[in-house]
């Protein structure tokens, strides 16, 4: 998790994920969530080395770099900790929302 912006407003909040490794990462089955909050599960998304994807909380049309969750309520509240968990249930990254 590189960045969380717009926390508290579904129409503007987003999470930026960047693959800083030297190999591609298949995000299928990975989750983003916070304790006590909703959880987003990734579908078929491949992140190649150095590439990024933005997960928008609100409504929109997803493409290869922008994914839309379709929520009307915010998911990332100020002070909450967002966790990226892989398909084996292992914590990969966490980020405290400003």
The percentage of residues in the chain with a pLDDT greater than 90, rounded to a whole number, is: 93
Q: State which residues form the domain around 82.
A: 3-96
Stated pTM of the model: 0.93
Read off the pLDDT of residues 9-20 as tens digits, 9 standing for 90 and up. Answer: 999 999 999 999
Fill in the DSSP letter of residue 60: -
Average pLDDT over residues 49-73: 97
CATH number at residue 70: 2.60.40.1260
Cβ partners under 8 Å of residue 98, min gap 6: 4, 7, 78
- pLDDT at residue 73 greater than cutoff 90: yes
Instruction: Domain count for the chain, please give it.
Output: 1
């Amino acid at each position: 998790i590189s960045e969380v912006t717009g926390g508290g407003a579904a129409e503007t909040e987003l999470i930026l994920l960047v693959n800083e490794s030297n190999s591609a990462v298949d995000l299928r089955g990975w989750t983003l969530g916070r304790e006590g909050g909703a959880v987003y599960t990734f579908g078929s998304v491949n992140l190649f080395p150095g590439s990024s994807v933005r997960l928008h909380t609100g409504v929109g049309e997803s493409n290869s770099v922008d994914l839309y969750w379709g929520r009307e309520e915010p998911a990332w509240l100020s002070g909450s900790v967002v966790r990226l968990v892989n398909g084996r249930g292992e914590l990969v990254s966490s980020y405290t929302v400003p």
